[in-house]
Structure formats: structure tokens, C-alpha cells
């Protein structure tokens, strides 16, 4: 939930779809639940704007994937194992959490999530580069969250 001066308390999904206005964000309200989440960003230097920013969370069987700095506004998509063939063989970069080069069970889910985003180019990176980073980061974050459960 987001709390704005003029808009009042607004759910996140509604807030991100609103057109830009001059309202001031004064508070972020996060309700505690059984959600597990992880975030990563790729930057040229510690203080630089990100080339890509990825956040993944899991509630029940639903994965929430948010990708920003594409270079457009961040978006949120939801994927479930039901909507994706988890047995589908997807080539990975060989850099899995286990380090053995095996195909990750999260690779197909990550591929399904990233395919719903569009990636643009600017001085910080090309669209193809950002898409490749997103696939790797979404899979790695899913693996990280999956290990905790």
C-alpha cells in the first residue's frame, strides 16, 4: 500500500498503473504475510543508476516478478507453475545455485516471466543485454527463495 497526500492509501498495483501526477508519496505500508522475497540490481558502479533491477517474491504457488530500469517504468507480472511446463528443458548459463551446470527447475518459470516484459536500449545497455540479465537474475532469485522454503 502507498500513502499519498491527495490520493490517500492506494494499493501498489493501482499506484504503478496511475498516470504521473504531482501527488507526494509520504508513506509505504507493507503488510506482513508468509511472502519470501529477494532483490538484485546490476550497476556499473555502486552509485550509478541500475542497468536492470529485479525483484522476485513468492506467496503460496504464485511468483511475483518485478523488473525495472528496462529502461521504462517497473512492471509486475505473476507466474505459477501451473501456467508453465516446469519439466520443459531450458538452457541455462551453467551458473546455477548448485554450481554443477544442471538445468534449474526454475528456468522455465523464469523464462515465462521474462517473456512478458519488453526491454529497450539506451546508453546503459541494449535491450538484448537487459533481457539476458533478467532471465539469469529472475532464475537465480527464484532458486534463492526456493532454497529457504
CATH number of 34-148: 3.30.390.50
Q: Are 54 and 138 in contact (CB under 8 A)?
A: yes
Q: What is the pLDDT along the chain (149 residues), one digit of tens a residue?
A: 666 777 788 887 787 778 888 888 888 888 888 899 999 999 999 999 999 999 999 999 999 999 999 888 888 999 998 766 544 444 444 454 445 566 788 999 999 999 999 999 998 899 999 999 999 999 999 999 988 76
Per-residue model confidence (pLDDT) at position 2: 61
Per-residue model confidence (pLDDT) at position 97: 46
**Local structure of residue 102 (DSSP, 8 states):** P
Among 68, 71, 37, residue whose Cα is nearest residue 54: 68
Among 117, 110, 111, residue whose Cα is nearest residue 146: 110
Per-residue model confidence (pLDDT) at position 87: 42
Per-residue model confidence (pLDDT) at position 72: 85
Predicted TM-score of the model (pTM): 0.78
Domain ranges of the chain: 1-31, 34-148
Amino acid at each position: 500500500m502507498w500513502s499519498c497526500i491527495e490520493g490517500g492509501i492506494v494499493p501498489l498495483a493501482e499506484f504503478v498503473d496511475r498516470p504521473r501526477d504531482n501527488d507526494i508519496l509520504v508513506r509505504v505500508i507493507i503488510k506482513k504475510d508468509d511472502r519470501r522475497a529477494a532483490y538484485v540490481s546490476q550497476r556499473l558502479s555502486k552509485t550509478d543508476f541500475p542497468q536492470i533491477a529485479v525483484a522476485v517474491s513468492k506467496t503460496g504457488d504464485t511468483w511475483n516478478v518485478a523488473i525495472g530500469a528496462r529502461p521504462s517504468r517497473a512492471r509486475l507480472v505473476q507466474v505459477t507453475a501451473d501456467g508453465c511446463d516446469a519439466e520443459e528443458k531450458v538452457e541455462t548459463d551453467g551458473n546455477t545455485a548448485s554450481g554443477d551446470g544442471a538445468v534449474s527447475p526454475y528456468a522455465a518459470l523464469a523464462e515465462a516471466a521474462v517473456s512478458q516484459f519488453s526491454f529497450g536500449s539506451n546508453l546503459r545497455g541494449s535491450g538484448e543485454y537487459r533481457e539476458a540479465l533478467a532471465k539469469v537474475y529472475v532464475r537465480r532469485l527464484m532458486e534463492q527463495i526456493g532454497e529457504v522454503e
